[in-house]
Structure 1
Amino acid sequence: MISVDSLTKRYGAQVAVSDVSFSCPPGTVTGFLGPNGAGKSTTLRALCGLTTPTSGSAVVGGRRFRDLPNAGRTVGVLLDAGAQHAGRTGRESLRLSAAVLGVPRTRVDEVLEQVGLAGRPADKRLRQYSLGMRQRLGLATALLGDPQVLVLDEPANGLDPEGIFWMRGLLRGFADRGGTVLLSSHLLREVEAVADQLVVIAGGRIVAAGTTQELLAGSGTLVRARDRAALAAALAAAGIAVGGGSGDALVTDATADAVGEAAAAAGVVLRELRPAGGEGLEELFRSLTAGSPAGTVPAAQQVQEARA
């Protein structure tokens, strides 16, 4: 369980986050969303013990990250896939981490296989890795201690579509086995596909939080048929109002089940039936964060804290 309670962080006169509260229960993937400078990184850094809150708390299982015994065995963290020694091989990097965590070397081969870096990629120097390979290695490092919680900042950055699909399955499987995932990403459609709940931050404050279904419930249903006029008549006969649509599509606030039943009753053949606007989360995100002030924290201050 991740719990962030009234978290506030100030850097001098600059407020990076203010009164941020949310929780991530076991068995769920939480999408943590917000524009650049909104406070996502500050929140994740506070959760992982890399910055000290001015007030409030960010804990895992009721304990601060720095108070967890052998924290990597409880929380797997990926905040910066580039923060790795370029002269080491992927296998060497993981073996060093395994020694620190106290896990057997056999675990290194297991996670290399899990993230698709087994074989020759494992023995390449990290300077030869693509960004996508670095992300996979970062995930392997996060998974190495067999943690119950994953905290990931932009883990799909640099992955190709196949890699993004693979990551979605990995995170979904982790949560379905009882794990807790907190995922920050700018790939909104991918977050929508995998997240059980969403937390949206803008200007250093939470502007929306809830289950994905709750927050996107207003998207409505989009439907297309071979005969648009016949479809419109069928929906009208069933008392279903049409609120818009472009081209040959119709959009309604009714559920997909209700629309499908109305079309079937009228003998109308459908070509498409799905939640309206495959960009439902993108539209929600824009509406919640439009015009929000960016609370960017000077990089020098973040670096100074990381070294402390």
Structure 2
Amino acid sequence: MITVEHVTKRYGAVTAVDDVSFVCRPGTVTGFLGPNGAGKSTTMRMICGLTPPSAGSATIDGVAYRDLPNPGRHVGVLLDASAQHAGRTGREVLAVSGQLLGVPRSRVDDVLELVGLTGAAAKRRVGNYSLGMRQRLGIAHALLGDPSVLILDEPANGLDPEGIYWMRSLLRDFADRGGTVMLSSHLLREVEAVADHVVVIGNGQVVADGDKDELLAPGGLVVRALEPPALERALADAGVAVRETQDGSFTVDADAETVGRAAAAAGVVLLELRPADSAGLEGLFLSLTSAGATSAGATSAGAASATAPTEDKGEAA
């Protein structure tokens, strides 16, 4: 389990991460999302002991990363797939790390097969790898110590559609076997497909934190009438806020009985009355991190707002 409690990181007068708290639980994939400069990579580096927090704490199963005995056997980390020795072969990269971790030599072959880098690919120098192959090697490196926790930053970058599907299946299987996965990615549809829990960070603060299905649950009703202006007047008279859509229907934050009674009292014929569709993770992300949003603090399984993110050259995607 990953536990982040009131973590803050300041660089002089600049606060990159501001009082961030969340939990990634065993058996789940947590999507950790945010625009460039939001503080995602800084937060992940603090969890992994690479950047000391100015305040707060981050622990793995209750222990700070730096205090874990042989941390690679507990936590598999992929923060930068290009940070690998270009002159070594893929097998050599893993063999050296395997000796440091104290894993059997057979484990190197196991993870190479798992990520699809067998045969000639394993013997090729990393400097001649494609981006997708480096990502696969980075995932193999994260899995090498047979950890119970995975922390992955943009692991699908450079993977083709087949590779993305493979990675999604791998992470889902890892979590289903009781592992904890923290996944940061700009591929929102892929995160939506695999994540159980979602944490969204904007401008250094958590702006949404909750179960994915609850966060993405649609809100309100869609209503369409034979005479739209008459329906709009009837709902306004009933005190129901109305938002017109491009197809001529209305979205309302009210229950079906209230809408039906207002329409009946005004003699308006309804053509459609149904729950609104979810905008999906992409819609949630944009609503929380758009330039017009304002900060409203952390939310749990509900809508929230965030101040517009600023670009930070020190913050990776």
Q: TM-score, normalised by structure 1?
A: 0.79
Distance 1:37 1:92, change over 3 A: same
Is 1:276 matched with 2:277? yes
- RMSD of aligned residue pairs (Cα, Å): 2.8
- Judge conservation of contact 2:73–2:146 (CA < 8 Å) in 1: yes
Asked if the contact 1:81/1:138 (under 8 Å) is kept, the reply is yes
Change (3 A) 1:141 1:250: farther
- CA–CA distance in 2 between the matches of 1:167 and 1:250? 40
Report SS of the residue matched to 2:208: strand
Question: 1:203, 1:144 → 2: CA distance?
Answer: 34
Q: 1: distance between equivalents of 2:9 and 2:27?
A: 29
Q: What residue number does 2:309 align with?
A: 294
Per the alignment, residue 150 of structure 2 pairs with 150
Whether contact under 8 Å (1:204, 1:295) holds in the other structure is: no
Please state how far the C-alpha of 1:120 moved relative to its aligned partner: 1.1
Q: Sort the Cα spacing of 1:246 and 1:111 in 2 relative to 1 into closer, same or farther, 3 A.
A: farther
Assess if the C-alpha contact under 8 Å between 2:37 and 2:313 holds in 1: no
| Separation of aligned partners in 1, 2:251 and 2:162 | 31
8 Å CA contact 1:39–1:296 kept in 2: the answer is: no
Q: Which has the higher helix share?
A: 1
Call closer, same or farther: CA 1:49–1:220 in 2, change over 3 Å.
same
Q: By how many angstroms is 1:293 displaced?
A: 4.0
Amino acid in structure 2 at the alignment position of 1:20: V
Map 1:297-308; keep pairs closer than 5 Å.
Answer: 299=314
What CA distance in whole angstroms lies between the structure 2 residues aligned with 1:285 and 1:169? 23
Cα offset, 1:276, TM superposition: 3.4
Q: Deviations over 1:177-215 (max 9, x none)?
A: 000000000000000000000000000000000000010
Aligned to 1:210: 210
Deviations 1:255-308 (A, max 9, x none): xxxxxxxxxxxxxxxxxxxx936x511110000011234365564xx9xxxxxx
Runs of 4+ in 1 over 6 A off after TM superposition: 219-222, 243-247, 249-253
2:58 corresponds in structure 1 to 58
**Mapped contact 2:78–2:142 kept (Cα < 8 A):** yes
Q: How does 1:91-106 map to 2 (within 5 A)?
A: 91-106=91-106
Letter aligned with residue 59 of structure 1: T
CA contact (8 A) 2:29 2:183 kept: yes
- Structure 2 residue runs of 5 or longer lacking an equivalent are 226-242, 254-275, 292-306
Residue in 2 aligned with 1:139?
Answer: 139
Instruction: Quote the Cα distance in structure 1 between the aligned partners of 2:141 and 2:176.
Output: 20
* Aligned-partner Cα distance in 2 for 1:63–1:42: 19
After TM superposition, the structure 1 = structure 2 runs for residues 1-308 of structure 1, keeping only pairs within 5 Å, are 1-218=1-218, 276=277, 280-291=280-291, 292-294=307-309, 299=314
2:36 is matched by which residue type in structure 1? N
Residues matched between the structures, number: 263
Distance 1:200 1:184 in 2: 10
Mapped to 2, the partners of 1:220 and 1:76 lie a distance apart of 41
Residue 221 of structure 1 and its aligned partner are, at CA, apart by 10
Moved more, 211-220 or 102-111: 211-220
Shift of 1:218: 1.5
Distance 2:125 2:244 in 1: 55
1:246 and 1:62, CA in 2 relative to 1: closer, same or farther beyond 3 A? same
* Matched letter for residue 35 of structure 1: P
1:33-61, CA deviations, whole angstroms, 9 ceiling, x for partnerless residues?
A: 00000000000000000000000001101
SS of alignment partner, residue 218 of structure 1: coil
User: How far apart, in 2, do the equivalents of 1:71 and 1:86 lie?
Assistant: 24
For residue 268 of structure 1, what is the aligned residue in structure 2?
Answer: none
Q: Which has the larger radius of gyration?
A: 2
Whether the 8 Å CA contact 1:3–1:24 is kept in 2: the answer is yes
| Partners of 1:245 and 1:17 in 2: CA distance | 37
